[in-house]
Amino acid sequence: MKILLVQPAPYENGRIGLETALWMSEPAALTALAAMVEGEHEVRIVDMRVEPADVLPRVLAEYRPHVLGVTAMTTDAYQAQAVALCAKSILGDAVFTILGGHHPTLMPGDHDQPYIDAVCIGEGEETFQEVVAHLAAGRARDEMAGIAGLRIRVGQEVRTTPARSQARELDSFPAPARHLVAHYAHEYFFAAANGIASIQTSRGCAFDCNFCAIWEFYERKVRFLSARAIVDRMEAATERFIMFLDDNFLTHRQRLEELVDEIERRGVRKYWMIQGRTDFIVKNADLMQRLRDAGLMMVLSGYESNEDDTLAALQKDNSKANNLEAAHILRELGILSMGIFMVHPDWEERQFDQLYETINQMRITMPMVVIHMPLPGTQAWREHGDELLTRDARFFDLLHAVTPTRLTRRRFYEKYAEWNGATMKSTRGSLTPAFLLKRPALMLRLALGYRKLEKKSKKLRRAIGDPENFLRDEYEIVGRDLETPTPAELVA
Ligand code: B12
Ligand code: SF4
């Protein structure tokens, strides 16, 4: 069987978003799925974020896949559907279309379309393998009820099969088929680190922040890849930079000690980046030093807020003091920091200014400010879903206010759009000569990618620094100013 796996582009071709300026990683979901079926079937991966739009119909017409798999997070949902529609338009029922990923899992009903044959709910490896085996055996499409983890279309009806358990040890999955995206390798980057490999070393998170669906997506379980398997994958990657995709890499002290031991024992010399919590950094400063010596170059943390009350309301189970201290520890160790903070739709002007001031005090290398929103599948979504001004998936990019703002929408976006300029002091305060000299070889390597980053960042800054862009999105996407009630809302 011929299988085509597609990573859709962000919702508008050429739109400036995170992935075009700050971080674009390889489609790790697709390489993980490909590894499960590659031995017996022919698999190709197309990454539409880096391909011209006409590649998709061309590949579909030439390759004529029997199975089309598309991955999607919420912001990609419509583009993922468009990919499936394109395949059905060209190949008709000769192709079986299946969607998977965070949005299809959390909102499976959003994809009940005649051109989508199935939705994979949750972890995809085994489900996808079984679907492909079923089709390869020539069995009927409407007899997939025995395959767990699916939402399938049977005639006019949609059925959900029993849930797929997420119990399988991560080491028992084959290593992702990264060679299928090797021709795109130079396209994947994080900031000035060009040519990054992405490796997932754990799934799940033990915390339960109410704005995040990770702990629910992974059924409140956390599973880890062994140190040996992680280092096997680090060694196999030809890239010098590695991004570990785990939502919370810093969870388990013993696992990290084992990892450092393994990296040292095998003499692997790579620079790697992680996402991790500030409380762990503060409690384990000694271990952070060992991680740095083993190649850790950047930690991305959800700092979220400059106030303890807000952290508590978000169920973050962390404190402002930890955030301040962690930023300090990382700076002292010569580890770059990226911090995500949220502004809230109900904020007054002074709260924006206070946040920007705190970020500058923290001296984080790359601060990033997003807008708090109830993302699909989160506790916040369940509790505040009725406050949503729109359910248009394209707005769930953390860059738009999907709930009412206290300030006028114009003033809200004006204050929000200030963040990048207002927090420059933080970056400058972090990248001091003393800091840069702590790791001269790394900084020299990053300097090589700096020119490209500057170019990309300029474009991003132009887009996110102009409040008109946010307001225009609201008009263009939903056809009206979100603040003005529709006639139906007025009647209600
Ligand atoms: C890397 C990453 C990115 C990359 C791009 C990801 C990519 N596809 O290449 C970048 C940096 C660009 C990015 C951007 C954003 N991201 Co992001 N990102 C991630 C991260 C950290 C890893 C993704 C990954 O590769 N995972 C590894 C693979 C193996 O796991 P997986 O994708 O879940 O795939 C498995 C299953 O879902 C399933 N599956 C997936 N696809 C398919 C397809 C088929 C056919 C089948 C059968 C199964 C299947 O099988 C796979 C194997 O088990 C995730 C967190 C996470 N845990 O995944 C967040 C995450 C996906 N991002 C998230 C968000 C919110 C964003 C942003 C909106 C916001 C932001 N400021 O970061 C932007 C939006 C960008 C845009 N397009 O507008 C949320 C999405 C929530 C949601 N409701 O969709 C996540 C879950 C983080 C979180 N804490 O909630 N992101
Ligand atoms: S925000 Fe981070 S710490 Fe909180 S649940 Fe999500 S992944 Fe875990």
Q: DSSP states of 241-253 as a string? A: EEEE--TT----H
Q: Which listed ligand is nearest to 216 at the C-alpha?
A: 2
CATH code of the domain covering residue 416: 3.80.30.20
Q: Residue 375 C-alpha to ligand 1 middle, in angstroms? A: 13
Same domain, 134 and 56: yes
For ligand 2, atom 4: residue with the closest CA: 209
Ligand 1 near 371 CB (within 6 A): no
Do 357 and 445 reside in the same domain of the chain? yes
Quick check: CB of 117 below 6 Å from ligand 1?
A: no
Distance 224 CA to ligand 2 centre (A): 16
Torsion sign over Cα 193, 196, 201, 202 = positive
How many angstroms does the Cα of residue 102 sit away from the middle of ligand 1? 6
Domain boundary among 160, 179, 212: 160
Residue 5's DSSP bridge partners are 45, 69
Domain assignment present for residue 462? The answer is yes
Is 101 a pocket residue for ligand 1 (Cβ < 6 Å)? yes
Q: Could you tell me the CA-to-CA distances from 406 to 149, 198, 348, 399, 463 in Å, in that order?
A: 41, 40, 7, 17, 23
Q: What is the pTM of this model?
A: 0.96
- Mutational test site, ligand 2, from 102, 106, 215, 378, max ligand atoms within 8 Å of CB: 215
Which atom of ligand 1 is nearest the CA belonging to 120? 47
Residue 93 CA to residue 284 CA, distance in Å, equals: 55
Residue 404 C-alpha from the chain's centroid: 25
Domain presence at residue 177:
no
Contact 74 CB / ligand 1 (< 6 Å): yes
248 with 348, same domain? yes
Ligand 2 pocket test, candidate residues 207, 211, 250, 252, most atoms within 8 A of CB: 207
The answer to whether residue 302 sits within a structural domain is yes
Ligand 2 pocket residue status of 377, Cβ below 6 Å? no
Q: Is 83 in the pocket of ligand 1 (CB under 6 A)?
A: no
Q: What angle do CA 363, 304, 354 make, to 5 degrees?
A: 60
Last residue in a domain, options 142, 160, 178: 160
Helix (H, G, I), strand (E, B) or coil at 196: strand
Name residues of the chain where pLDDT drops below 70.
Answer: 11-19, 485-492
Are 58 and 87 spatial neighbours (Cβ–Cβ below 8 Å)? no
Does the Cβ of 209 fall within 6 Å of ligand 2?
A: yes
Q: Is residue 140 part of a domain?
A: yes
Terminus-to-terminus CA distance in the chain, angstroms?
A: 53
Provide the pLDDT for residue 477: 81
Strand 2-7 relative to strand 42-47, pairing = parallel
Indicate the top mutation candidate among 73, 74, 144, 300 to test ligand 1's pocket, ranked by most ligand atoms within 8 A of CB.
Answer: 73
Write down how long the chain is: 492
Ligand 1 neighbour 24 (Cβ under 6 A) = yes
244 lines ligand 2 (CB under 6 A): no
Taking only the tens place, the pLDDT of each residue in 130-178 is 999 999 999 998 899 999 999 998 878 899 999 999 999 999 999 999 9
- The residues, any chain, with a CB within 8 Å of residue 125's CB and separated by 6 or more, are 32, 33, 35, 36, 168, 173
The one-letter amino acid code at 124 reads G
- Helix (H) or strand (E) segment spanning residue 424: helix 424-430
DSSP annotation string for 426-489: HHHHHS-HHHHTTSHHHHHHHHHHHHHHHHHHHHHHHHHT-HHHHHHHHHHHHSS-TTSPPHHH
Q: Which atom of ligand 1 is nearest to the CA of 99?
A: 45
User: Which residue reads 């809230």 in tokens?
Assistant: 344
Residues 213, 123 share a domain: no
On whether both 253 and 295 belong to a single domain, the answer is yes
Q: Are residues 259 and 325 in the same domain?
A: yes
Q: How far apart are CA 246 and CA 50, in angstroms?
A: 23
| 482 located within any domain | no
Ligand 1 proximity of 304 Cβ (cutoff 6 Å): no
In a domain, 479, yes or no: no
Q: What is the CATH number of the domain that holds 56?
A: 3.40.50.2300
pLDDT of residue 490: 61
196 lines ligand 1 (CB under 6 A): no
Establish whether residue 302 lines the binding site of ligand 1, counting it when its CB lies within 6 angstroms of any ligand atom: no
Q: How far does the centroid of ligand 2 lie from the alpha carbon of residue 305, in Å? A: 14
**Residues 202 and 155 reside in one and the same domain:** no
Compute, in angstroms, the gap from residue 428 CA to the centroid of ligand 1: 30
Ligand 1 centre to CA of 491 (Å) is 39
473 lines ligand 2 (CB under 6 A): no
Q: Which domain holds residue 243?
A: 188-473
Q: Whose CA is nearest to atom 31 of ligand 1?
A: 29
Q: CB of 414 within 8 A of CB of 386?
A: no
C-alpha 71 to ligand 1 mean position (Å): 9
Residues 154 and 194 in one domain: no
Task: Please report the beta strands in 176-326, taking only residues with DSSP state E, as ranges in sequence order.
Answer: 189-190, 193-194, 196-199, 202-203, 223-224, 241-244, 271-275, 296-304
- Are 384 and 295 part of one and the same domain? yes
The answer on 38 and 145 residing in a single domain is yes
Residues 396, 397, 402, 407: what is their CA dihedral angle, to the nearest 10 degrees?
170
Domain presence at residue 289: yes
Distance 204 CA to ligand 2 centre (A): 9
Contacts 24+ apart (CB under 8 A), 400-405: 400/371, 400/373, 400/470, 400/473, 400/474, 401/345, 401/371, 401/373, 401/482, 402/373, 402/374, 403/345, 403/373, 403/374, 404/345, 404/483, 405/345, 405/346, 405/347, 405/483
> 10: Cβ below 6 Å to ligand 1?
yes
In a domain, 384, yes or no: yes
Q: Report whether residue 302 contacts ligand 2, using a CB cutoff of 6 Å.
A: yes
- Residues 323 and 366 grouped into a single domain: yes
| Overall domain count for the chain | 2
Taking only the tens place, the pLDDT of each residue in 67-100 is 999 999 999 999 999 999 999 999 999 999 999 9
Same domain membership, residue 431 and residue 303:
yes
